[in-house]
Amino acid sequence: MTDTPSSIVVIGSANIDFTVKVERLPQVGETVSGGDFRLSFGGKGANQALAALRAGAPVAMIAKLGRDPNGELLYRHLTTAGLSPEGLLRDDEVPSGVALIMVDAHGRNLIAVAPGSNRRLMVADVQALGAGVFERQAGAPHRPRLLLTQLEIPLDTVAYGLQRACDAGLMTILNPAPGRDLPEGFLALPEIITPNETEASLLTGITVTDLETAQRAGERLIAMGSQTVIITLGEQGCLLARRGEVRHFPGFRVTAIDSTAAGDAFNGVLAASLLEGLPLEHAIVRATAAGALCVTKRGAQESLPTRQELDAFLASVG
């Protein structure tokens, strides 16, 4: 009798993205003329779920969508992409989340999010889905083995998911984005946290600008209760910090067009690689490559690499 395949559970956000291409990002109070406008699909939760799915992992997502036209678009898109409708909950009272994005000629971006129905994904919603969210159920096609979550949904829901997953023996990854202050002890809940430079700076009070300050921030996060810290550093790659260990993983040289979903590609592929049983160091290399590939294309979910693209890229760089 073969073992039931493992799966990733993503508890997070789903948005519609409105993106304008600009030559340069505006200063405060300034209006700049833009170029192309794009409507696309995003949200850190949905991006990371689809990144893991494209990397070959079975994924179940829990999110809350509105019943507005944007919610209908999101629902059709996510189910067509391969996510089960069971965890895509609906809210009759508030619209779906949207993100307003500007991307400059160098691929840098500014993003503002109106969370909408994402803000109404409550602990009770997750509880109502039953024990199968976190535990193996007889007859189920997959058994949950890893939880991936972010901070675009209520903090209580994130904390509940992390604690419940830990109690059930699942691996846990928290992408603490967007950056915000967290309650004392919160960072001890996940096995792995994956802040970028901005989020690591906010969490630690150390301004992360280079490898030296990233190392200091990583060590501070360990002292604050984190077990494993991976600070993503854009084109510089990322830094792994564990108690008694700090290691830099260099980035891959690519031409950046749009960095919107680079962090989400990293997190989704990191989760998928760990689900496969790869050592953390190998998973980080694949995740870093996914982030690099992602910035070479425009858009959020449109830019997420497939497993075949990722394998070919890694083979090409040796």
Residue of 254, 252, 251, 265 whose CA lies nearest to 294: 265
Active site residue 125: no
Give me the tens of pLDDT residue by residue for the chain, a chain 318 residues long.
345 577 999 999 999 989 899 999 999 999 998 888 989 999 999 999 999 999 999 999 999 999 999 999 999 999 999 999 999 999 999 999 998 989 898 888 898 889 999 999 999 999 999 888 898 765 566 789 999 999 999 999 999 999 999 999 999 999 999 999 999 999 999 999 999 999 999 999 999 999 999 999 999 999 999 999 999 999 999 999 999 999 999 999 999 888 888 999 999 999 999 999 999 999 999 999 999 999 999 878 989 999 999 999 999 997
Burial class (CB in 10 A: 0-12, 13-18, 19+), 23: exposed
How much is the pLDDT for 240?
Answer: 99
- Domains of the chain as residue ranges with CATH: 6-316 (3.40.1190.20)
4 residue type, one letter: T
What pLDDT score was predicted for residue 22?
93
Beta bridge partners of 149: 11, 174
The whole-angstrom separation of Cα 92 and Cα 117 is 9
Q: Half-sphere exposure of 95 toward its Cβ, with a 13 Å CA cutoff?
A: 11
What is the pLDDT at residue 6?
76
Name the residue among 35, 44, 1 with its Cα closest to residue 304. Answer: 44
Of 3, 17, 264, 311, which is the active-site residue? 264
Predicted structure pTM score = 0.92
- Alpha helices, H only, the chain: 44-54, 69-81, 123-128, 155-167, 197-204, 211-223, 262-275, 280-294, 307-316
